[in-house]
Structure 1
Amino acid sequence: MKIRVFTAILVCKIVRCLAKLFGRGSSLPGKYALKICPDILSHLKLPETSIAVTGSNGKTSTVEMIAHVLKSNGLNVAYNKEGSNQIEGVATFLIGDSTMSGKVKSDVILLEADERYSRHIFKYFHPKYFVINNLYRDQMTRNGHPEFIKSVISQAVYDDMTLILNADDPLVSSFGKGREGTIYFGADKLPTDKLENDGIYNDGKYCPVCKAPMEYEYYHYNHIGKFKCSSCGFERHDTDHTLTSTKEENGKAKITIDGRYDIPVFFTGIYHCYNILAAFTASVTAGIKPEAAAESLGGYILKSGRISDFTLGKLDGRLLLSKHENSVSYDRSIDVVVSDNRKKSVMFIVDAISRKYYTSDSSWLWDINFEKLKGANIDKIILAGQYCDDLAVRFELAGADESKIEIFEQVPDAAEYCAHNLDSFLYVITCFSDKEKILSIVTRRELA
């Protein structure tokens, strides 16, 4: 072994221990290792099975569920559970699971890969399976348009990988065009589907292959649905694993995959269903029996806290984590609120737009379909955080009833108002960067 490889591994392990003691980030040890040995990832001896997950939304949740299935079925799994998905974070968790000779100890490595950085990571090793969930407008100050991100991800795709693709997303599905051995997952027509795209914009309007207009038989949401190009014939691929139904009845919820695998869930939001389907597909493709995968996923509650139930005073509520700078994510959370027929209130918190970089750009708020909330039996709309006035202007243009809107720059003030003035169920929609600002005030409950 080269001395610089050994030194990089040693330093990474030492810094990782120190970083844990002082609560520092999960990327720092890998950053030092890469400075010492820039190609350290190519020197690690990986297990036969490796799975990578990328996409605009759902990477962390999907990776967590795949890890749970694999571990439940007796496999040792190493993955970047902190969600640090750029090359430094990947180096940290892989070296952390390696011997001093660079041999990864686990049976399977599972990594969440940032859309922009997967091409840099996979220069050094190729995962056996590469899951691509979806491509949306996300952090446009950093990522630009999803078609640009598609071109970036294409640089991370190699011939020796098995792609696992969302058949319902034309941008993602196009990665499999002309490629053998690709695995597809997708949803059958569901009761919540629509004949028209109800988003503010439509990224499925034109074919990603030939740029001719696309035709849709139905939309699950945004540009996700059953599509066909009017010119070149590119269309939704037949699926290997399919979400065939979702059902909520008498306080119980379940989804069915492939018409026979029933999976009890606490939540049938379409995002969550796609993440479960992706996790099921990846696990089965990696060798887990479908019955075992379904059993492992049944009732599993994400530790990443994407959904949290809480009590605030006498109020019951649910936190729905979305992504700032990602209107599709917010639209799906709004869909959950709208589909709840009882009287409810909803709080939107936008206090810090990004955890990773500073930006005061709030233009993405105009891409969120807040208009859906009109006529949805809403008691109060609470707008909170540093960008509460930006939200207020957006709601004014959405035609919201001003008498229902309350505005607070400070999140604690908004929470105090809700605790003393509301008597309806409270939804809170915000991002990872702002979630603790409300969770530190409320009392968390077990998801029901």
Structure 2
Amino acid sequence: MKKLLSIIVTKIIILFLKFKNKGSSFPGKIALKIYPDILKHVSKNVETILITGTNGKTTTTALTNHIFNNAFIDCFSNSTGANMLTGIVTTYIKNYNLFNRKISKTAIIEVDEASLKHVCKYIQPKIIAVTNIFRDQLDRYGEVYTTLNHIKEGIKLCSNSKLILNGDEPLLCSLEKVYNNKFFFGFDNFKSDENTKNLNVEAKNCKFCGETYTYNFITYNHLGDFKCNNCGFKREKLDFSIADILENNINESIIKIKNNVITINQGGIYNIYNVLCAYAISTVCSIPDYIVIDSIKSFSKVFGRQENFKIKSNSITMFLVKNPAGFNETLNTINLDKNSEMSIGFLLNDNFADGQDVSWIYDVNLEMIKNFNIKELFTGGIRTHDMSLRLNLTEIEKPINTFEKYEDILKYLESKENETIYILCSYTCMLEFRKFLYNKNYLDVVW
């Protein structure tokens, strides 16, 4: 009786909140209060794919869902990004059929790294995919080995799940005492002068002996073709790989996977990793290459992730940045725009979902923007003054405008004409500013 009550009450709350444009975690919280094991019940007859990792999981989940839809697979996903246990419960109940419980579906679910072990208590997924592991939300995750252990705890509850892992990530090639069937993805080669510099200090040393890794190449941060010359630990053999990058600019990338030439409607190395992970998941699930390739070409950007829109005559691109690795690679992606004079905004909050310790902004290589073709800079969010101070420390000789209200940022943007503007937002800034712009009729959807 409690199972049924939990489902009915939650469905009513979901319907009510839909008209209020409210978040999607609260209904799941109520469901768990009524019946704590509800996820185990509503996930029966559902073939589940879980996608976790520090960066890229939202885009990878959305792309995988897009591919499966194009393959005419009946699937659902937590597209709003509610990736903790309560949000995932909401997603399953929303898609649960009270009148025909034998309907088989596929769930493609983004999972917060620390929540994986809680979700896996109730679900035995077909696949667990892990994108990467970086420092993120220091007050919540601590250092990278804490995040790695969270993920391993979840995986160990699912011994029959297939693992799809970033093979260029040393931390994921060192999953000792994990005996699942594993598939690794990464780059066959990469043109870069880097082989040791600019490495994340927590991940540059061998987990087994402590020696510093050497690299044949680094794609970004600590990802790449690594090897420990002391104990011999090295990158796993890749099952899915990027054979070549034919083009990588601010608007698109063109890559080769096997003999397939694939166009991605976004620039940046991190987006290539996202595509490769989704490609690996789809291939392991026996979706034909032609469907996967066509789906990648037709994929639209996820809200707040390199999202393009207009404010008056200005071209705006919004990026989510939440840790040093992602921030640095976002700046590298913006630097692919060699033709435009640009203004860049940095919006920083310190809410729980952002991480309340913002000292990580001092680990970002913001000094690189001195080489960009910049017109002006601006900051916003709760920690706007911290962000302005960090920019001033770069000694960049450009105007830095500091705003405390989104209304003032919008007035500033509306005063410009025909400019290229990039806005880098922490997580809750991205949600708040998008909602603000939606209410001002500059965006068609909230999320």
- Provide TM-score, normalisation by structure 2: 0.89
What is the rounded CA distance, in whole Å, between the counterparts of 2:208 and 2:100 in structure 1? 42
Please state if 1:307 is matched with 2:303. no
* Cα distance change of structure 1 residues 165 and 193 upon mapping to structure 2, 3 Å threshold: farther
Q: 2:380 aligns with which of 363, 384, 398?
A: 384
Please state if 1:258 is matched with 2:257. yes
Residue 184 of structure 1 corresponds to which residue in structure 2? 184
Partner of 1:248, secondary structure, is strand
What is the rounded CA distance, in whole Å, between the counterparts of 1:358 and 1:63 in structure 2? 23
Instruction: Give the letter aligned to residue 383 of structure 2.
Output: Y
What is the rounded CA distance, in whole Å, between the counterparts of 2:287 and 2:236 in structure 1? 24
* Cα distance change of structure 1 residues 9 and 202 upon mapping to structure 2, 3 Å threshold: same
Post-superposition Cα deviations, 1:77-134, rounded to whole Å, max 9, x if no partner, equal 0221221111111111112222338937343111111111110110122101000001
Residue 34 of structure 1 corresponds to which residue in structure 2? 32
Q: 2:404 aligns with which of 402, 409, 422?
A: 409
Instruction: Give the letter aligned to residue 215 of structure 1.
Output: T
Instruction: Give the letter aligned to residue 437 of structure 1.
Output: F
What is the rounded CA distance, in whole Å, between the counterparts of 2:100 and 2:111 in structure 1? 21
Aligned positions, number = 438
Instruction: Give the letter aligned to residue 26 of structure 2.
Output: L
Aligned ranges 1:197-346 → 2 under 5 Å: 197-198=197-198, 201-248=200-247, 253-323=252-322, 326-346=323-343
Aligned 8 A contact 1:246 1:268 in 2:
no
- Deviation at residue 192 of structure 1 after TM alignment: 4.9
- The worse-fitting range, judged by mean Cα deviation, of 25-34 and 50-59 is 25-34
Instruction: Give the letter aligned to residue 292 of structure 2.
Output: A
Aligned ranges 1:77-96 → 2 under 5 Å: 77-96=75-94
* Cα distance change of structure 1 residues 181 and 443 upon mapping to structure 2, 3 Å threshold: same
- The worse-fitting range, judged by mean Cα deviation, of 83-92 and 170-179 is 170-179
Partner of 1:19, secondary structure, is helix
Instruction: Give the letter aligned to residue 172 of structure 2.
Output: V
* Cα distance change of structure 1 residues 414 and 422 upon mapping to structure 2, 3 Å threshold: farther
What is the rounded CA distance, in whole Å, between the counterparts of 2:349 and 2:262 in structure 1? 36
What is the rounded CA distance, in whole Å, between the counterparts of 1:17 and 1:76 in structure 2? 22
Residue 25 of structure 1 corresponds to which residue in structure 2? 23
What is the rounded CA distance, in whole Å, between the counterparts of 1:298 and 1:33 in structure 2? 38
Residue 147 of structure 1 corresponds to which residue in structure 2? 145
Question: What stretches of structure 2 of length at least 5 have no aligned partner?
Answer: none
What is the rounded CA distance, in whole Å, between the counterparts of 1:218 and 1:418 in structure 2? 40
Instruction: Give the letter aligned to residue 371 of structure 1.
Output: E
Q: Percent identity?
A: 28
- Provide TM-score, normalisation by structure 1: 0.89
Please state if 1:353 is matched with 2:350. yes
Residue 13 of structure 2 corresponds to which residue in structure 1? 15
Partner of 2:173, secondary structure, is helix
Aligned 8 A contact 1:204 1:214 in 2:
no
Aligned 8 A contact 1:30 1:91 in 2:
yes
Partner of 1:398, secondary structure, is coil
Aligned ranges 1:121-140 → 2 under 5 Å: 121-140=119-138
Aligned 8 A contact 2:282 2:292 in 1:
yes
What is the rounded CA distance, in whole Å, between the counterparts of 1:193 and 1:163 in structure 2? 31
Partner of 1:374, secondary structure, is helix
* Cα distance change of structure 1 residues 378 and 25 upon mapping to structure 2, 3 Å threshold: closer
Residue 373 of structure 1 corresponds to which residue in structure 2? 369
* Cα distance change of structure 1 residues 398 and 233 upon mapping to structure 2, 3 Å threshold: same
- Deviation at residue 177 of structure 1 after TM alignment: 7.4
Post-superposition Cα deviations, 1:353-412, rounded to whole Å, max 9, x if no partner, equal 3364783x32111111101112222222223334232122212322322x4433333344
Question: What stretches of structure 1 of length at least 5 have no aligned partner?
Answer: none
- Deviation at residue 56 of structure 1 after TM alignment: 0.6
- The worse-fitting range, judged by mean Cα deviation, of 146-155 and 303-312 is 303-312
What is the rounded CA distance, in whole Å, between the counterparts of 2:13 and 2:343 in structure 1? 43
Instruction: Give the letter aligned to residue 328 of structure 2.
Output: D
Post-superposition Cα deviations, 1:141-169, rounded to whole Å, max 9, x if no partner, equal 11111111101111111321110000011
- Deviation at residue 214 of structure 1 after TM alignment: 1.7
* Cα distance change of structure 1 residues 413 and 122 upon mapping to structure 2, 3 Å threshold: same
- Deviation at residue 235 of structure 1 after TM alignment: 1.0
- Deviation at residue 251 of structure 1 after TM alignment: 9.3
What is the rounded CA distance, in whole Å, between the counterparts of 2:317 and 2:109 in structure 1? 29
What is the rounded CA distance, in whole Å, between the counterparts of 2:197 and 2:370 in structure 1? 18
Aligned 8 A contact 1:176 1:182 in 2:
no
Q: How large is the RMSD of aligned CA atoms in angstroms?
A: 2.7
